[in-house]
Amino acid sequence: MTRSTAATAVACLVLAFLLPSAASAKERVKYKDPKQSVNDRVQDLLSRMTLEEKIGQMSQIERANATTEVIEKYFVGSVLSGGGSVPAEKASASVWQKMVTKMQKAALKTRLGIPIIYGIDAVHGNNDVYNATIFPHNVGLGATRDAHLVKKIGEATAHETRATGIPYTFAPCVAVCRDPRWGRCYESFSEETKLVQLMTSNMVAGLQGDVPKKHPKGVPFVGGSKKVAGCAKHFVGDGGTTRGMDENNTALSFHDLMRIHMPPYDNAVIKGISSVMISYSSWNGVKMHENKFLITETLKNKMDFRGFVITDWQAVDRITNPPHKHYYHSIKETIHAGIDMVMIPYDYPEFVADLVKQVKDGQIMLDRINDAVSRILRVKFTMGLFEDPIPDPRLTKELGAQDHRALAREAVRKSLVLLKNKKKGQKDPMLPLDKKAKKILVAGSHAHDLGSQCGGWTIKWQGETGNNLTGVGTTILEAIKKAVDKKTTVDYVERPDKDDLAKSASDYEYAVVAVGEPPYAETAGDSKNLTIPSPGPEVIKDVCGLVKCVVLIVSGRPLVLQPYVDYMDALVAAWLPGTEAEGITDVLFGDYGFTGKLPRTWFKSVDQLPMNYGDKHYDPLFPFGFGLTTKAAGHK
């Protein structure tokens, strides 16, 4: 052995002694080892983080701002797509995955390599994405009373969300809507707490997977790469605001808040929900985003919720009211209240600077920051983001899959509620319709409008009318044409002229009239009168006054119907059915029977509102749970 080789050998021995082996290094970096417990991984990673890295994990910014530079500079922990925020118009699943991958790679390049968690409002399917399956909104699912169906819809939604590389959805909405004047009422399964609880449990299980029997209560659970982290929202009482005004005050005793609005959250926590989103609304004058009693003492401590609490969009700004309260102080109050992740789509530099200063000045204790970050990391570890942060390109085929569309079609037919099936004095019911009729009329604003069928939160935040919105889907008119005999003539006139119709009315064996609400979301949907927009009422009276007719009400809630019901031979509440209108014709033409039941009370007049099942003075047009049934003539 030469002197040089001997020296080299000695040097190698010294290095081997001084430097840890690969195995011991890996053992020491617990957070990178999937064999370690989640709690050990969380504590190990937390111990290595700077204050700035911790606050980065608490920050959720908008997709449009999430450049590689921003993610690396601010150690961003989460990114979201606001309603309608997409990487490109009509973007494919692959384009979505490419965007998420780029962001994820930026996060993995940071010192500790903590992956981001990307969130989106997949509230009735992956509804921001072109060519996705759009399921009925929650009010329609409540009408099905079918818990197993709702679980399968949760599973399909998870698959289509993962198809775009996104592992987190801001769903389900578990609000108990007590006043249909509220613009978010269609996001609620029902006015009745127990029905909301049932649907909540099954939707969470569908999205996240079934919690193992021995899984501790309150600990988040996401069971596999085709599942997504869910988010129960909006905590708490958002469906009970005064006069149904969005973001308004819920004036209730603590007992009634716990009795009516809190139980679905308990169900979500039991099912391992990953996050809870706080409501813009207030409870007895206190903004929910600064309510420490409900967020920390009740949700976290009493209900033992172990996931993370997230704000709504720019919610910190909503509790700022100069000159009495400034943004700086609003941040302090929300963090003190128990908020863990803050949705700050645009103002993240100011938020981060202010929060860092408040911790360093002792205005916010480091223990509160550590609790917040621990909860966020717990979800990320639980769902396997550290092991599989990059989207799986094999999942792109799940977007708009045929079995999902078949499931949506099933959901539509089970959600339809038959409210009337013959006029007074008539012997025979109007439905089911004859497929072999020689000539039929289809009319109304919603008969051939896919955007109106889907409602808000579809591609765009507020939704949009027209047939060029979702990429694929079937309108009511198209479904009727597919269902009837080839020899049947189908005339479509959106707004028939009464005089012209009088001349040809005898030519039609029956008419299908589809009217309802235009798309809307949140505050834009608040309504004081709940009337069917013109010319809907005129179409009902003109057509049904001359031709035997069935009226379909396409809406997110009950509307004023009493003045028009006598004109109709049959009346169906179709809610907001989504892209698969063949589910409507399945039932109209008797291939399946009507089974849906009202998930909420159908009032006679808005003067009666709020009016809910069990109220002392209960005098509805159609009561909660009402729904006529028909027998199927035979399956296809």
Mean pLDDT, to the nearest integer, of 586-593? 98
Average pLDDT over the chain reads 95
Mean pLDDT, to the nearest integer, of 511-527? 98
Distance CA 516, CA 151 (A): 28
Q: Is residue 513 part of a domain?
A: yes
Indicate the helix (H) or strand (E) that contains 276: strand 275-278
What band does 323 get if pLDDT is binned at 50, 70 and 90?
A: low
What band does 320 get if pLDDT is binned at 50, 70 and 90?
A: confident
Q: Is residue 188 part of a domain?
A: yes
Q: In Å, what is the CA distance from 323 to each residue of 32, 247, 320, 329? A: 47, 21, 9, 11
What band does 572 get if pLDDT is binned at 50, 70 and 90?
A: very high
Q: Is residue 390 part of a domain?
A: yes
Q: Is residue 624 part of a domain?
A: no
pLDDT more than 70, % of the chain:
95
Are 468 and 390 in a shared domain? no
Distance CA 582, CA 269 (A): 36
Distance CA 560, CA 562 (A): 6
Distance CA 251, CA 245 (A): 12
What single DSSP character describes residue 581?
T
pLDDT more than 90, % of the chain:
93
Whose structure tokens read 């009217």? 515
Q: Is residue 384 part of a domain?
A: yes
Token output for 580: 């698969």
Are 140 and 235 in a shared domain? yes
Q: Indicate whether 502 pLDDT > 50.
A: yes
Query: How many CA atoms within 13 Å lie on the side-chain side of 159?
Result: 19
Q: Is residue 569 part of a domain?
A: yes
Distance CA 115, CA 107 (A): 5
Q: In Å, what is the CA distance from 333 to each residue of 305, 355, 496? A: 20, 11, 58
Q: In Å, what is the CA distance from 199 to each residue of 19, 88, 134, 424, 447? A: 56, 34, 18, 36, 29
Distance CA 160, CA 157 (A): 5
Q: Which amino acid would we find at residue 193?
A: T
Largest CA distance in the chain: 114
- Structural domain tally of the chain? 2
Distance CA 411, CA 141 (A): 7
Find, among 378, 400, 502, 381, the residue nearest to 127 by Cα. 400
Mean pLDDT, to the nearest integer, of 248-270? 98
Mean pLDDT, to the nearest integer, of 484-500? 98
What band does 319 get if pLDDT is binned at 50, 70 and 90?
A: confident
What band does 43 get if pLDDT is binned at 50, 70 and 90?
A: very high
What band does 634 get if pLDDT is binned at 50, 70 and 90?
A: low
Find, among 184, 62, 168, 187, the residue nearest to 524 by Cα. 184
Distance CA 574, CA 515 (A): 10
Q: Are 308 and 341 in contact (CB under 8 A)?
A: yes
**Quick one: pLDDT at residue 633?**
79
What band does 20 get if pLDDT is binned at 50, 70 and 90?
A: very low
Token output for 499: 């005089």
Q: Are 564 and 542 in contact (CB under 8 A)?
A: no
Whose structure tokens read 């044409």? 481
Q: Is 238 a catalytic residue?
A: no
Q: Indicate whether 412 pLDDT > 90.
A: yes
Query: Considering the entire predicted model, what is its pTM?
Result: 0.95
Give the other-Cβ count within 10 Å of 466's Cβ.
Answer: 12
**Quick one: pLDDT at residue 322?**
64
**Quick one: pLDDT at residue 324?**
61
Distance CA 183, CA 238 (A): 11
**Quick one: pLDDT at residue 23?**
41
Indicate the helix (H) or strand (E) that contains 26: helix 22-28
What single DSSP character describes residue 290?
G
Q: Which residues pair with 511 in a beta bridge?
A: 441, 549
Query: The CATH number of the domain where 312 resides is what?
Result: 3.20.20.300
Query: The CATH number of the domain where 589 resides is what?
Result: 3.40.50.1700
Are 208 and 331 in a shared domain? yes
SS3 233: strand
Whose structure tokens read 């029905």? 195
Q: Indicate whether 24 pLDDT > 50.
A: no
In DSSP notation, 46-78 reads HHH--HHHHHHHTEEEEGGG--HHHHHHHT--E
Q: Is 522 a catalytic residue?
A: yes
Q: Is residue 16 part of a domain?
A: no
Are 600 and 464 in a shared domain? yes
The 10s digit of each residue's pLDDT in 124-139 is: 999 999 999 999 999 9
Are 101 and 170 in a shared domain? yes
Are 378 and 444 in a shared domain? no
Token output for 341: 């992740």
Distance CA 299, CA 307 (A): 10
Q: In Å, what is the CA distance from 51 to each residue of 46, 222, 347? A: 10, 28, 19
Mean pLDDT, to the nearest integer, of 151-175? 98
Distance CA 176, CA 236 (A): 9
Are 360 and 508 in a shared domain? no
* Among candidate residues 345, 366, 395, the one where a domain is terminated: 395
The 10s digit of each residue's pLDDT in 102-129 is: 999 999 999 999 999 999 999 999 999 9
Q: Are 157 and 122 in contact (CB under 8 A)?
A: yes
Catalytic residue of the set 191, 238, 266, 312: 312
Q: Which amino acid would we find at residue 336?
A: H
**Quick one: pLDDT at residue 15?**
38
Q: Indicate whether 17 pLDDT > 70.
A: no
Distance CA 558, CA 486 (A): 35
Are 235 and 308 in a shared domain? yes
Find, among 390, 397, 383, 387, the residue nearest to 98 by Cα. 390
In DSSP notation, 473-494 reads -B-HHHHHHHHS-TT-EEEEES
| Alpha helices in 109-174, H assignment, sequence order | 138-144, 147-162
Q: Indicate whether 338 pLDDT > 80.
A: yes
Are 387 and 466 in a shared domain? no
In DSSP notation, 417-434 reads EEEE-S-TT-SS-S-SPP
Domain that includes residue 573, residue range: 416-608
The 10s digit of each residue's pLDDT in 388-401 is: 999 999 999 999 99
Is 390 exposed, middle or buried (CB count within 10 Å of its CB: 0-12, 13-18, 19+)? middle
Are 389 and 421 in a shared domain? no
Whose structure tokens read 């060029």? 468
**Quick one: pLDDT at residue 265?**
98
Q: In Å, what is the CA distance from 566 to each residue of 29, 421, 498, 623? A: 73, 11, 18, 18
Are 386 and 523 in a shared domain? no
Q: Is residue 333 part of a domain?
A: yes
Are 123 and 163 in a shared domain? yes
Catalytic residue of the set 340, 410, 464, 522: 522
Q: Indicate whether 315 pLDDT > 90.
A: yes
SS3 101: helix
